[in-house]
Chain A
């Protein structure tokens, strides 16, 4: 409403700008402009002559030229003052102002403008995020530039308003997990479990977060969750692994080894976690852990968040992200990796960055690049032995040749 009032006011102002001079009596025509200029020119010639900027005979000739123009100008001014002024055009101009300006301007504006769209300055949008109002924007569009905090804030705000959306809790949980906020992750998993019902997966996921929140100790609460998971699905890998861990932590190393060996026996060849389990077995048996790869592929946190956002605020009921979104996500991860690589190319002193880069290549399944990155890192770190040692440790952890 305010918008339309303001637009109307502006239109009135425009119309007034035309009508006002039309209604005013004309000022007497400012006469004698030319005459004044010529007089000044005559004076100037005199000055020029006095200081030699013009010769005496030339000054005389110039004076005659100017005087002739002066006389003509004076005549013209006298002739101009009398002229008929028909009123027809004025009326036409008035009508033009009254009708054409408002009608034409609004017609063009309605064609081009979008009066129905509200403005969305950043401060408003942030305020809305905190108030938990879903965005008008497309949450999946271009998540690249969005900061992790802003994205988490958006999901949190949404969940605050819709605390009964189990899927919402389910998608934010891994985000918390990645960002190290294990307690929040455990709570989110708990909500998801409560709201969506018990399945082996959910019980195991819940248990895992509880373990993480307890600094890696399999607590009684976690144990119970894993037990329930096993009851629902005897083959649940995560639950079986953690129950083995629980046995190890209880000092029953043999039970742990037995549980994990059984787990390995059931593993399909392509399972990514076998090396990790093998290493755990070695640890439990007191052997060196050897060259084993880390089990879980590290997914990028932003990618998780992007996935989370894809579902949470806009379409909580949607089952899974669309395939093209998945592809976009992959591209995004690759983009992030290449940006990291670029940055390291410029500043090679960031050893954690190098380890992250190598790990990213491992996750993406690009062993050659991973090895190349290790070589680059060695070159870039140069003589910094402390950093080189950390690099070696990190690389060893990834199971690559140091």
Chain B
């Protein structure tokens, strides 16, 4: 019964979404506030129904009700509870339900907290949000129904794909979806603005926090996915330029650009048209990201053809939303008022440069990801575009971004003083040069590009710190004043600096890992010792262990350094009976930000086992950097001025009076 309730709740959500996608728009046309106010309650109740539906499916998973096809195919009664829960979205149907849950959640947030948005804009935004919802409900109900039933249920389920039975991957999709779907709000705002033919001043103030929140989730989601690939796939790689990864990177790049252009828009009302276009693009890329992974296009264009209903539906959704929104954009963009003026060298100018570079980088990833697919569809030729392509294109594009990054926040609005900023950044160059020289000297004869890249990272990190130091007057003013200014500095400024610092950290991790990682691969028998970078790993043999729904082979390694035992590492290989599949679980040992990584290969008949050992210097910085970026985003999001849709004048005034500087 629970499953049927969930199913019906989803159908009702569709009915409500249909009403919500039409009635409020009629209201904005006829200027009827009553019709416009229909949008909020329907959005809220819609969320309640989708949540009910999701809860019903979850309940079916938890109770192992295999009369639901989806549960029988993706779950097993002996899974631990946590993986029963994550199984809910570890499959196509369930993940689409999670998608609409988040969509409805964001819609409900706008409905509940958007009291400061003009009524007409709010009605249009919710209506557009509802168009997306209607399409997705239909997609789920007609082609990917998670509530399909089995009259004769099997006694046991087929289990979740073992590779997904991992905590990292369990929370990765929800984070990624929160990011993808978060951009739907920016998209809805953009399309609503185009329909209305004007952009309210509140527009950017609303769009930016949503974009920021979506961007934070996406950053975390990508980092989590990358860390998962690192420890689960057993090869020690953290980024493969795999189409699935690129699918999440593209919206992130577009979203990062949107974040920066929305800043200009919020402050200066410039770049309106461009920001709207970016909002449309960011969500379009999110849609592509969702569907690239889901449609089967990635494995081969031919698998796409094997399931035509779903594939054609997906194609129709992509064309309708991306094509439709771009058409509206082409038609209405000219009617938008132009905003403030600025000189090329200014904060605005720097942000435009950032946008140009980020969107170009995004375009290269787009081409690299989709060109092989297009080529295969048109000519049948299979080519693969791998790391070399992206290193050749993406790398050089990021170089100017990193060079310009410390300049941007220090330039003045409207017209900046490039020379002045260049002088103030002298500590950053110095840091970069010293670090690069030191590294070059230390690794004499090694790759020349690496010390340079390290120096660049140091420059970005120190540049971010200099920005803060300049703002609070460090070294120039008495300490008491500095402290007061630091406390009074808007959180958005802290956020900017910290996020930029995070980029530098990630860059540092990437460069170190790529250039100075060491690895050893060998067949070992018990008692054998493998040495790498001063670590001696003694193989003590293997043992077997029974997990709840798997058996695992554990390799025991004692790690010594200078003869002293420092740790024991136990990489495992798991074998899941229900699916007859195995996974590798690497053992990780962290020292500072560097890691020792041990992964088991296949055992050979003579009792030896293949082992891969990596030493990854500063590899953790890659993900720490992402966390720092997210933290910076969070700080910026918590800034008082963003939290409210539009400022409440009286209160805002009294607070600004206390605020010394930005």
Contacts and interface: CB of A to CB of B under 8 A. Distances in A.
Contacts of B11: 105, 108-109, 112-113
B9 A117 contact: no
A14 B42 CA distance: 8
Contact of B116 (A30, A58, A104, A122): A30
Nearest to A349: B544
Contact of B656 (A33, A43, A112): A43
Interface in A272-324: none
A25 B414 CA distance: 46
B119 A50 contact: no
A339 B60 contact: no
Interface string B583-622: 0000000000000000000010111000000000000000
Looking at chain A, what size class is its interface with the partner chain?
Answer: 35 or more
Contacts of B117: 33
Contact of B267 (A44, A97, A339): A44
A385 interface: no
Contact of B154 (A54, A93, A142, A348): A142
Most chain B CB within 10 A, of A62, A84, A135, A380, is at: A62
A13 B45 contact: yes
Interface string B1-23: 11111011101101110110001
Given A112-B11, A136-B152, A380-B607, A21 B4 contact: no
B12 A53 contact: no
Interface residues of B, number: 102
Contacts of B577: 145, 339
A179 interface: no
B542 interface: yes
Interface stretch (B62-70, B94-102, B297-305, B631-639): B62-70
Interface in A83-113: 83-86, 89-90, 93, 96-97, 100-101, 104-105, 108-109, 112-113
A137 B64 CA distance: 14
B652 interface: yes
A119 B1 contact: yes
Contacts of B660: 51
Contact of A14 (B15, B157, B661): B15
Interface string A1-40: 0110011001101100110111010110110011011111
Interface string A57-75: 0110110010001000100
A27 B33 contact: yes
A390 interface: no
Contact of B152 (A43, A93, A97, A141): A141
Contacts of A54: 412-414
Contacts of A215: none
Nearest to B39: A21
A21 B44 contact: no
B646 interface: yes
B430 interface: no
B65 A121 contact: yes
A27 B37 contact: yes
A142 B35 contact: no
A348 B605 CA distance: 9
Contacts of B544: 346-347, 349
A41 interface: yes
Nearest 6 CB-CB pairs, A to B? A121-B63, A26-B33, A58-B414, A17-B45, A37-B201, A122-B64
27 contacts: A6-B5, A7-B4, A7-B8, A14-B15, A17-B41, A17-B45, A18-B41, A21-B37, A21-B38, A22-B34, A30-B119, A37-B201, A54-B414, A93-B19, A114-B151, A115-B4, A117-B67, A120-B65, A122-B66, A123-B63, A137-B155, A138-B154, A141-B154, A142-B154, A142-B156, A145-B157, A346-B573
Given A145-B155, A343-B575, 14 more contacts: A7-B4, A21-B34, A21-B42, A47-B662, A48-B662, A53-B347, A53-B662, A61-B341, A85-B31, A85-B33, A89-B27, A109-B8, A113-B7, A117-B149
